C-alpha cells in the first residue's frame, strides 16, 4: 500500500534530510527542468496567454462567489441524469460513503483513476481497513503504491524515482499483487510502461467498481470531467458497473462554455502539451453505455474554511496543474515529501494551512517554505498570488503564538525592536551603542559578526551578518546636514 503522511516532521527538519539525498536532488532537477522546458515552449505559442490566464481566473472566481447556488444546481443536474449525490463534510464521511457503496456490491477491490482528493482523504487506507483493495492505475501512482512510497508531486507522483529504481520496484512487487513483471524487464521507459499495462489490464477487466475524482464539475449540465494522459482513466470510467466520483466542492464550473479557458490552460501548464490525450466527460448514467450506477460525493474537508479567508480563497482556483512546483527553487531542492502532504510545493504551502487551519507545528512551518521569489505566481495559469497568501498565512501563524507563555526568540527580538522604536530617546541610545560596537569591531578588522550564539546561530549559519555601521543615519544626517556638507 501507499505510505501515509500522518506524523510527518516540520518542513525545516524534513527538508534537511531531503537536501542530503544527492540522488533525489539529481532526479528532481532533471525532471522539473524537462517539464519547465516543455511548458515554456507551448505557452510561448499562445499570443494571448495573459488574457487566457485572466479568463481562467475569472471563471473560477465567478463559481466561488456563488458556490452555494452552483452546488445546488450541480446536485439537481446530476440527480436528474440518474446519479446519486452524497455530501461529505470531511474525510471520514467521504470514506464511509465509498465503503458503503463497495459493501453494497460485495466487492473486495476497486480500480482508481489518479485523484488528489482521494489521497487527501486517505481513501486507500480506509478501504484497506475494510478488507477492500484499491488499485492505482495511473503509472506514476502505481509506482508509488508498489514501492510503499509517498507521492512527491501533484502531476508526477513518482518524480523522485529514476528508471532503475522503478525497474527494481516492478521486479520486486508486481508478482505479489498480480501479474508479475517479465523476466527480461529493462529500465527502458517503453518496456516499463508495457509491464505496467499488462499488470493493470487484468485488474481493469475484473473490477466491478471504480473510484475517480474530477478536474471539473459543470453545474448546469451535471457533467464531470477528467483529463489524463495514459488512458487508464478512460478504462476506469467506462468498464466497471459502478463508478464513485469524489469531487471537491471547489471544482464547480458554472457552464459548459466556461470550461473553455480552463481546458486550454491545464495541459499546457501541467504536461507541456497543447492538449491532453484523453478528456473524459460523463453526465449521470447512459443506458447500455458505461457504469450503470454512478455516485458523486461532494467533499468539503476544509474548503469552506478556505473560502471564508478573503486573501486565501484564491487558492481554491487551483486546477492542480503543478506548474508552481516545477518553477519553485525550494521544491526543486527538497522534493515533495518535505511538505508532509499530498499537496506539496508552493500551492501545498498555502492550501494545507487553508484547509486544515493553522496551529499544528507541521502545518505552521509550510508558509515559510518559500523564498517569496514570485516564480509560482508567474507560472500559475489561474493567477493565484501565492506569495501574497504565504505572507498572509505567516501573519496568521505569528498571531497564533502571541499569547504563548514562553515566547519564541524571534518574538522576543521583535518585541525588543518595538520597545526601542517606540521612544526616540531609546532609539538614539541604542544607535549610539551600536555605533560604538561597530567602530570597535571594524578596528579589529571584522566585516561580519560571524556565527551568533544561541538562537541566532541557526540564522547566521547560512548568512553573513555585517558589523553595525560606525555612524548611525541620524548622526550622519546631523553631521552633514542631510548630505549638503559631505
- 224 and 86 belong to one structural domain: yes
* 267 part of a folded domain: yes
- Of 305, 340, 370, the domain-final residue: 305
Supply 243's cell numbers: 463508478
Contact 432, 387 (CB under 8 A): no
* 17 part of a folded domain: no
* 396 part of a folded domain: no
Q: How many domains is the chain built from?
A: 2
Contact 153, 344 (CB under 8 A): yes
Residue 1 has what pLDDT?
Answer: 45
Supply 236's cell numbers: 476506469
Residue 425 has what pLDDT?
Answer: 92
Domain assignment of residue 178, given as a range:
68-305
- 129 and 274 belong to one structural domain: yes
Query: Which residue has better confidence, 412 or 245?
Result: 245
Give the list of residues 6+ apart from residue 359 with CB closer than 8 angstroms, or none.
Answer: 400
* 49 part of a folded domain: no
Residue 119 has what pLDDT?
Answer: 94
Query: Residue 2 pLDDT > 80, yes or no?
Result: no
* 446 part of a folded domain: yes
Confidence of residue 454 (pLDDT cuts 50, 70, 90): confident
* 362 part of a folded domain: no
Confidence of residue 160 (pLDDT cuts 50, 70, 90): confident
Residue 4 has what pLDDT?
Answer: 57
Q: Which helix (H) or strand (E) holds 117?
A: helix 116-120
The per-residue pLDDT for range 385-407, each reduced to its tens digit, is 999 999 999 999 999 988 888 88
Sheet holding 209-212, edge to edge: 84-88, 293-299, 242-248, 209-212, 109-112, 133-136
Q: Which residues on neighbouring strands pair with residue 247, listed in sequence order?
A: 298
* 34 part of a folded domain: no
- Which residue, among 91, 113, 110, 102, has the nearest Cα to 6 in the 3D structure? 91
Q: Which residues of 78-91 are buried (b: 16+ CB within 10 A; e: fewer)?
A: beebebbbbebeeb
Query: Residue 34 pLDDT > 70, yes or no?
Result: yes
* 332 part of a folded domain: no
Confidence of residue 5 (pLDDT cuts 50, 70, 90): low
Supply 280's cell numbers: 473524459
- Of 245, 275, 305, the domain-final residue: 305
CA Rg value for the chain: 26
Residue 131 has what pLDDT?
Answer: 97
Flag the least confident range among 120-124, 306-310, 316-320, 441-445. 441-445
Residue 6 has what pLDDT?
Answer: 63
- Tell me what the mean pLDDT of segment 443-460 comes to: 84
Q: For the chain, give the percent of residues with pLDDT over 90.
A: 83
CATH code of the domain covering residue 142: 3.40.50.10420
Confidence of residue 138 (pLDDT cuts 50, 70, 90): very high
Residue 285 has what pLDDT?
Answer: 95
Residue 155 has what pLDDT?
Answer: 86
The per-residue pLDDT for range 456-473, each reduced to its tens digit, is 787 788 888 899 999 989
Arithmetic mean of pLDDT over the chain: 94
- 293 and 154 belong to one structural domain: yes
Residue 388 has what pLDDT?
Answer: 98
- Of 280, 305, 330, the domain-final residue: 305
Amino acid at each position: 500500500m501507499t505510505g501515509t503522511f500522518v506524523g510527518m516532521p516540520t518542513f525545516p527538519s524534513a527538508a534537511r534530510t531531503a537536501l542530503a539525498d544527492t540522488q533525489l536532488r539529481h532526479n528532481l532537477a532533471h525532471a522539473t527542468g524537462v517539464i519547465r522546458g516543455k511548458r515554456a515552449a507551448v505557452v510561448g505559442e499562445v499570443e494571448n496567454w495573459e488574457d487566457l490566464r485572466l479568463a481562467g481566473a475569472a471563471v473560477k472566481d465567478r463559481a466561488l462567489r456563488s458556490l452555494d447556488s452552483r452546488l445546488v444546481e450541480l446536485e439537481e443536474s446530476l440527480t436528474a441524469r440518474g446519479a446519486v449525490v452524497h455530501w461529505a463534510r470531511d474525510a471520514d464521511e467521504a470514506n464511509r460513503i465509498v465503503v458503503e457503496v463497495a459493501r453494497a456490491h460485495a466487492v473486495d477491490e476497486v480500480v482508481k483513476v489518479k485523484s488528489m482528493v482521494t489521497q487527501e482523504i486517505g481513501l486507500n487506507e480506509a478501504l484497506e481497513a475494510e478488507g477492500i483493495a484499491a488499485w492505482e492505475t495511473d503509472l506514476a501512482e502505481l509506482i508509488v503504491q508498489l514501492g510503499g512510497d509517498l507521492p512527491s508531486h501533484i502531476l508526477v507522483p513518482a518524480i523522485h524515482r529514476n528508471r532503475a529504481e522503478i525497474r527494481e520496484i516492478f521486479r520486486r512487487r508486481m508478482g505479489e499483487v498480480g501479474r508479475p513483471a517479465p523476466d527480461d524487464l529493462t529500465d527502458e521507459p517503453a518496456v516499463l510502461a508495457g509491464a505496467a499495462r499488462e499488470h493493470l489490464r487484468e485488474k481493469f477487466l475484473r473490477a466491478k467498481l471504480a473510484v475517480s475524482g474530477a478536474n471539473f464539475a459543470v453545474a448546469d449540465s451535471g457533467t464531470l470531467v477528467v483529463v489524463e494522459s495514459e488512458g487508464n482513466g478512460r478504462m476506469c470510467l467506462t468498464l466497471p458497473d459502478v463508478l464513485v466520483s469524489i469531487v471537491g466542492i471547489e471544482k464547480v464550473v458554472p457552464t459548459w462554455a466556461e470550461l473553455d479557458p480552463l481546458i486550454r490552460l491545464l495541459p499546457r501548464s501541467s504536461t507541456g502539451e497543447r492538449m491532453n490525450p484523453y478528456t473524459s466527460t460523463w453526465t449521470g448514467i447512459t443506458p447500455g453505455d458505461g457504469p450503470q450506477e454512478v455516485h458523486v460525493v461532494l467533499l468539503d474537508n476544509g474548503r469552506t474554511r478556505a473560502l471564508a479567508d478573503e486573501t486565501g480563497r484564491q487558492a481554491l482556483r487551483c486546477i492542480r496543474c503543478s506548474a508552481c512546483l516545477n518553477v519553485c527553487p525550494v521544491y526543486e531542492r527538497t522534493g515533495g515529501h518535505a511538505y508532509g502532504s499530498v499537496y506539496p510545493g508552493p500551492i501545498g504551502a498555502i492550501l494545507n494551512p487553508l484547509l486544515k487551519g493553522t496551529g499544528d507545528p507541521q502545518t505552521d512551518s509550510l508558509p515559510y517554505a518559500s523564498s517569496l521569489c514570485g516564480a509560482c505566481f508567474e507560472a500559475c495559469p489561474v493567477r493565484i498570488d501565492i506569495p501574497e497568501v504565504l505572507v498572509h498565512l505567516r501573519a496568521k501563524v505569528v498571531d497564533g503564538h502571541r499569547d504563548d507563555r514562553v515566547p519564541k526568540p524571534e518574538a522576543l527580538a521583535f518585541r525588543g525592536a518595538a520597545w526601542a522604536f517606540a521612544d526616540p530617546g531609546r532609539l538614539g541610545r541604542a544607535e549610539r551603542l551600536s555605533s560604538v560596537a561597530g567602530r570597535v569591531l571594524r578596528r579589529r578588522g571584522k566585516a561580519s559578526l560571524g556565527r551568533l550564539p544561541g538562537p541566532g546561530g541557526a540564522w547566521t549559519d547560512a548568512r553573513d551578518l555585517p558589523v553595525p555601521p560606525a555612524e548611525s543615519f541620524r548622526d550622519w544626517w546631523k553631521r552633514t546636514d542631510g548630505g549638503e556638507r559631505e
